[in-house]
A and B are shown apart, each in its own frame.
Chain A
Amino acid sequence: MSPRGGAEGALIKCVVWDIDNTLLDGIYLESDQQPPPADKVLLGVLRELAGRGILQAVASRNPPAAGEYVQRLAGLELAAVECGWDAKPAAIRRIAASLDVPTDSMAFVDDDMVERAEVAAVLPGVLVLTPEEAAEAAGWPQFSPPVLTAEARRRGELYANRGRRQAAAHDFGGTRAEFLRQVGTRVSIARATAADVPRLHELSVRTHQLNSAGQPVAEAELAGLLTSAGHQVTTVRLADDFGDDGLVGAAILTGSAGGHSPGPAATVPLVMMSCRALGRGALDALLAWLCRAAAAAGATELTVPCRVTDRNVPFRLALAAAGFRAEPGATGPDGRALFSRPLAGELPPLPDFVVALS
């Protein structure tokens, strides 16, 4: 029997596991003294996939304690836990929303044929697997991301941190800027090095909501840009009291600001940032820093060509907040809208939690 649903060959970003008779060798609530032991094979697959940067979540008709129990057995933090009495498609939708992962890059594993059929019917994009199929999934291309970075390996943990941060933000009450200070936000902006190249490539592949170009950049091309006199590749690292997100974003600056050719116009052919950084001040900081770097190099105007899609609205909001504007209909040679702003006068503010290394 072959797995149903899912886009052909598309990379899976999140696996949602059932608990009873799937991750556990038995039924959680039907055990008298102690909960049933783990299904060693499937728990091993879960750990392996988590190590590849694929988010692991559970959806189960059980009390929340069942999720905590599975988490202890797995020895790692699950990205999302949905324990309740809802239908599985609703639980999967909530996981998709909380992790910001589209359902067509999710897989669902359940021993129950009826649950599988319901998910397949309601969410046709989800790759629906039996436990037997899931046991072999680690060998499939959909579960084998091409690059594996330190950030990817820790992705599940980082998303769990995000859940705690969101809860704290919701209870905080003050402005977002006050919250960012309160939780010890640290944004570090630095020149990219060769060691950053795999992660930069990964960001170019994975980011959509905060991406100006909308197309991947090969590692070789990135490596070439690092040594190009005409380009300045800049990285953004993000951390706060909830955890260290590592390298979350980058930008390429070129023109008068990037290299030796002086001139009034500087361009940023690529800005990209992980959606984990959304709402955490990192993109605003990067745009503010780019304005300063370009101005310091003698540019009087900075242009950020942006492919306008229905997914990168957050990026356009950040551009608007930083004072960038585009002429409707006027596009660059690749069809991107040309967002630009003058560099004279007041530049967008660079918060004091930003550390910029030259």
Chain B
Amino acid sequence: MTDATDQLAGELGDLLAEITGRAELRGIEPATPLLRGGAGLDSLAGTLLLRQVQRRYGVDVAAEDLNLDALETLGTLAAFIAARI
């Protein structure tokens, strides 16, 4: 993982903490699963996260990733975005 992707993962953790109101997600490990277990992201928080990602980075994850594999972990999401900006 590059430094840029690392930094992006950090920003995404901040976003996630804002959306869910859970401050502890700020320091979340990039390898933590997002949807199942791990961060416990539900479809509401996931949708809000993708909306913010689109607004902030101009990357429409949902349009490009049918199975939303990018949401596996914070790290995969950061890499997906980094490859497109």
Interfacial residues, chain A to chain B (CB-CB below 8 A)? 169-177, 209-210, 278-279, 281, 283-284, 308, 310, 313-318, 320-321, 325-326, 328, 337
What is the distance, in angstroms, from A322's C-beta to the closest C-beta of chain B?
Answer: 9
B22 touches A173 (CB 8 A): yes
12 contacts between A and B (CB under 8 A): A279-B44, A279-B45, A283-B43, A284-B42, A284-B43, A313-B47, A315-B43, A317-B68, A318-B43, A320-B35, A320-B69, A326-B67
* Chain A residues within 8 Å of B50, by CB: 313
Pick from B43, B68, B71: contact of A279, CB under 8 Å? B43
* Chain B residues within 8 Å of A313, by CB: 47, 50, 62
B35, B45, B46, B66 interface centre (most CB from chain A within 10 Å) = B66
Main secondary structure, interface of B, reads helix
Q: Is B63 an interface residue (CB 8 A)?
A: yes
Instruction: Knowing A320-B67, A321-B35 are in contact, say whether A169-B21 is a contact too (CB < 8 A).
Output: yes
What is the distance, in angstroms, from A203's C-beta to the closest C-beta of chain B?
Answer: 17
* Chain B residues within 8 Å of A175, by CB: 22, 40
* Chain B residues within 8 Å of A210, by CB: 43
* Chain B residues within 8 Å of A316, by CB: 62, 66, 68
Pick from B42, B62, B67: contact of A325, CB under 8 Å? B67
What is the distance, in angstroms, from A98's C-beta to the closest C-beta of chain B?
Answer: 13
User: How far, in whole Å, are A177 and B41 apart by their CA atoms in the complex?
Assistant: 10
Q: Is B52 an interface residue (CB 8 A)?
A: no
A326 touches B40 (CB 8 A): no
Instruction: Knowing A170-B21, A173-B21, A310-B62 are in contact, say whether A320-B71 is a contact too (CB < 8 A).
Output: yes
User: How far, in whole Å, are A315 and B66 apart by their CA atoms in the complex?
Assistant: 12
Among residues of A, the one whose C-beta sits closest to the C-beta of B49 is: A317
Count of B residues near A, CB < 8 Å? 21
What is the distance, in angstroms, from A33's C-beta to the closest C-beta of chain B?
Answer: 43
Pick from B43, B66, B69: contact of A314, CB under 8 Å? B43
* Chain B residues within 8 Å of A283, by CB: 43
B67 touches A314 (CB 8 A): no
What is the distance, in angstroms, from A306's C-beta to the closest C-beta of chain B?
Answer: 10
B43 touches A176 (CB 8 A): no
CB within 8 Å of A: which B25-53 residues: 35-36, 40, 42-47, 50
> 9 new A-B pairs (CB below 8 Å) besides A176-B40, A176-B45, A317-B35?
A169-B21, A173-B22, A310-B62, A310-B63, A316-B66, A317-B68, A321-B42, A326-B67, A328-B67
User: How far, in whole Å, are A210 and B46 apart by their CA atoms in the complex?
Assistant: 14
B68 touches A172 (CB 8 A): no
**Beta-carbon contacts of B3-35 to A below 8 Å, as 1s and 0s?**
000000000000000001111000000000001
Among residues of B, the one whose C-beta sits closest to the C-beta of A180 is: B42
* Chain A residues within 8 Å of B68, by CB: 316-317, 320
User: How far, in whole Å, are A283 and B47 apart by their CA atoms in the complex?
Assistant: 14
Among residues of B, the one whose C-beta sits closest to the C-beta of A209 is: B47
* Chain B residues within 8 Å of A279, by CB: 42-45
User: How far, in whole Å, are A175 and B45 apart by their CA atoms in the complex?
Assistant: 11
User: How far, in whole Å, are A242 and B20 apart by their CA atoms in the complex?
Assistant: 20
